[in-house]
Amino acid sequence: MTAHVLGVEVSCDGPDISRDCPDSAAIRACFGSMTAAEVRADGRAGGWVRRRRDGRLVDLCPACRVGTR
């Protein structure tokens, strides 16, 4: 039996620091996406954004990105 790495999943960091994403949104790895950077690129194609919050980068799904900085 052989095990293979299936890739990564990037989850939404929620609308703000005190609340989780209401949809538990996640970007799933596409067939060719194996790294977090590749999966984030897939997410940007679907409307996801990456922003700074409290000195760190956060990933926000299309529903949570509205009205955030």
Task: Supply the pLDDT for residue 64.
Answer: 93
Q: What is the pTM of this model?
A: 0.76
Q: Which domain holds residue 14?
A: 9-65
| Listed residue (60, 55, 46) closest to 15, CA to CA | 60
Residues of the chain with pLDDT under 50: 69
Number of structural domains the chain divides into: 1
48 assigned to some structural domain: yes
Residue 36 lies in a domain: yes
For residue 2, is it within any domain? no
Query: How far is Cα of residue 8 from the mean position of the Cα atoms in its chain?
Result: 10
* pLDDT value of position 61: 93
Domain-located, residue 52: yes
Residue 21 lies in a domain: yes
Comparing CA positions, the residue from 28, 32, 23 lying closest to residue 8 is: 28
pLDDT at 66: 79
* Domain assignment present for 60: yes
In a domain, 22, yes or no: yes
| pLDDT score of 69 | 44
How far from 34 is each of 26, 56, 67, CA to CA, in Å?
15, 23, 31
Asked if residue 3 belongs to a domain, the reply is no
Q: What is the pLDDT of residue 67?
A: 57
